[in-house]
Structure 1
Amino acid sequence: MPIKLVPRTAWGARKPSSGLTVIRSTRGVKIHYTGSRVDPRLATEHKRCVALVKTIQRGHMDANGWSDIGYSMAVCPHGHAFVGRGPHRLPAANGPGLNHDHYAVLGLVGNAGLTEPTDAMLHGLRDAIEYLREHGDAGGEIKGHRDGYATNCPGTRLYDWVGAGAPRPGSVQPEAGPEPSPAAPAWPGRLLRHPPVTRGDDVRRWQKRMHERGWPITVDGAYGPASRATCRAFQNEHDLPVDGVVGPITWRAAWEK
């Protein structure tokens, strides 16, 4: 079933009060809830969902002094995915210093009133995540707002859903266990290093793999300072010699470790 996307013009979004920061990609998304009482009538009256999104934007802009609604996307109980700041725009809802790593996706439930996400909302949240992956280069991480920030958000029910892998309702989840890694493709036979800038399809393939693993890296086929920094961080994380050079061991580890 296609995503029930609600563009900004369709829900009557205000224009941002100032320019929004552009971001290339993120490690993934963080799931939020409103943190306040949500009228249970939202579950049966979709017009209230539109009104709530507009209210949240107004609060963020007029009370918080933000340039726009703080969320990248918002999803209602009927599974509609409202475009907030949208892809490639820095969100404001994750907390100071935490917005570059993840997009912010809101489920329109709260800590009182309507607290349980519907199946349609969970499908809509997955749709929003996949939309941000396709159009905003979001990585594979799905976390709750409370991960790395002192808050109860996104509430018990949504956080349990995130902890279970954010499955679509009705899907069969595999038994817990380590996810198998794909076999590493053959090492291209040359070192990927900087300086000078190394370019080619082999660089792009390695960058794509690192992006799939959640590293904030641009997949452009050019191994420059940013790629070297990512390589060094990856090597350090996996107890490899930290030299910033993708040789056969680091290449294989990108797929197998």
Structure 2
Amino acid sequence: MANLVTRDQWNARTHKGHTPLRERPRGVKYHYVGGRVEPDIVKDHGQCVALVKSIQRHHMDTNLWADIGYSVQCCPHREIFIGRGPGVVPAANGPGLNAQHYAILALVGDSGLVVPTDDMLHGLLDARAWLMGLREEEQPCGGEVLGHRDGYGTECPGDWLYDWIRRGHPRPGGAGSPRPVSQPPPWPGRVLEYPPLQTGDDVRTWQRQMARRGWRIDVDGRFGPTSREVARAFQKEKGFRVTGRVGRDDWRAAWLAPIT
């Protein structure tokens, strides 16, 4: 079980008023930071504390919320930082949706550290188990597991975490828990599509990565009918919108989505 870090232990600011939950939440929704998370946070646990405090500061001073928006936050070292905590309506799921699920934040971003460590994944699951096992008067949640984007227009919790959720959120090392191939190179800034025939190093980079994933594709730097069909098959496999076009999210998924 992950270590629980109390608000006093991470020196949280005093909240400006919480709204008690009136009904038992259906389950949890997972979130990511969204901005850049420096990869060396994995080696320096002090950065985890600083990041959680900066999120609370942004939520209270910029968003003018009563407190940090999440119920709990999970770091790369299998520690669970208590945010608003149990029995309280979070502010991270979206208007009209907050009371339906507890909000669990993974301290990963959309750049830098984008793939959770195994300890973070354990922490995310430990946080859910803790919230489900609360005493009745503390408002334990049900078993539903969703991502922030479910029912709300956002990319959160990112493609890697969302794919993990849809695969049944397995614990690391168990069945169904493959790791990504590598970190993605920067998106080239153009959508790869056919027609017309597109050529270039960006096409070659994407083709090479798809070949590494096991797809039968020529690495020739030419995005034609075959590349389009591979893109379509990959999108269908991952449950994405099937277009045959490689946009920013499809580009990142070629590196971050687990190989299945």
In 2, are the aligned partners of 1:69 and 1:84 still within 8 Å (CA)?
yes
Shift in CA distance, 139/115, structure 1 to aligned 2, threshold 3 Å: same
SS in structure 2 at match of 1:15: coil
Q: Quick check: 1:110 aligned with 2:119? A: no
Match of 1:153 among 151, 156, 171: 156
**Which residue of the partner structure matches residue 142 of structure 1?**
145
**Which residue of the partner structure matches residue 244 of structure 1?**
none
Name structure 2 gaps, 5 residues minimum: 177-260
In 1, are the aligned partners of 2:29 and 2:101 still within 8 Å (CA)?
yes
In 2, are the aligned partners of 1:73 and 1:81 still within 8 Å (CA)?
yes
**Which residue of the partner structure matches residue 90 of structure 2?**
91
In 1, are the aligned partners of 2:18 and 2:88 still within 8 Å (CA)?
no
**Which residue of the partner structure matches residue 5 of structure 1?**
4
Give the whole-Å Cα distance in 2 for the aligned partners of 1:27 and 1:51.
31
SS in structure 1 at match of 2:15: coil
Give % identity: 55
**Which residue of the partner structure matches residue 182 of structure 2?**
none
Give the whole-Å Cα distance in 2 for the aligned partners of 1:33 and 1:147.
14
**Which residue of the partner structure matches residue 169 of structure 2?**
166
* 1:64-97 CA distance string (max 9 Å, x none): 0110000001000111111101111000000000
Q: CA RMSD in A?
A: 1.4
Give the whole-Å Cα distance in 2 for the aligned partners of 1:17 and 1:81.
22
Give the whole-Å Cα distance in 1 for the aligned partners of 2:73 and 2:173.
22
SS in structure 2 at match of 1:58: helix
Shift in CA distance, 23/128, structure 1 to aligned 2, threshold 3 Å: farther
Q: CA deviation at 1:171?
A: 2.1
Give the whole-Å Cα distance in 1 for the aligned partners of 2:18 and 2:127.
23
Shift in CA distance, 30/163, structure 1 to aligned 2, threshold 3 Å: same
Q: Quick check: 1:38 aligned with 2:37? A: yes
Give the whole-Å Cα distance in 2 for the aligned partners of 1:98 and 1:33.
17
Name structure 1 gaps, 5 residues minimum: 174-257
* 1:10-54 CA distance string (max 9 Å, x none): 111111112433344100000000111111111110000000000
Question: Please, what TM-score do these two structures have when normalized by structure 2?
Answer: 0.64
**Which residue of the partner structure matches residue 240 of structure 2?**
none
Q: CA deviation at 1:126?
A: 0.3
Q: Which amino acid aligns with 1:125?
A: L
Q: Structure 1 runs of 4+ off > 4 angstroms? A: none
Give the whole-Å Cα distance in 1 for the aligned partners of 2:106 and 2:22.
23
Q: CA deviation at 1:137?
A: 1.2
In 2, are the aligned partners of 1:24 and 1:88 still within 8 Å (CA)?
no
| Count of residues in Structure 1 that have an aligned counterpart in Structure 2 | 173
**Which residue of the partner structure matches residue 19 of structure 2?**
20
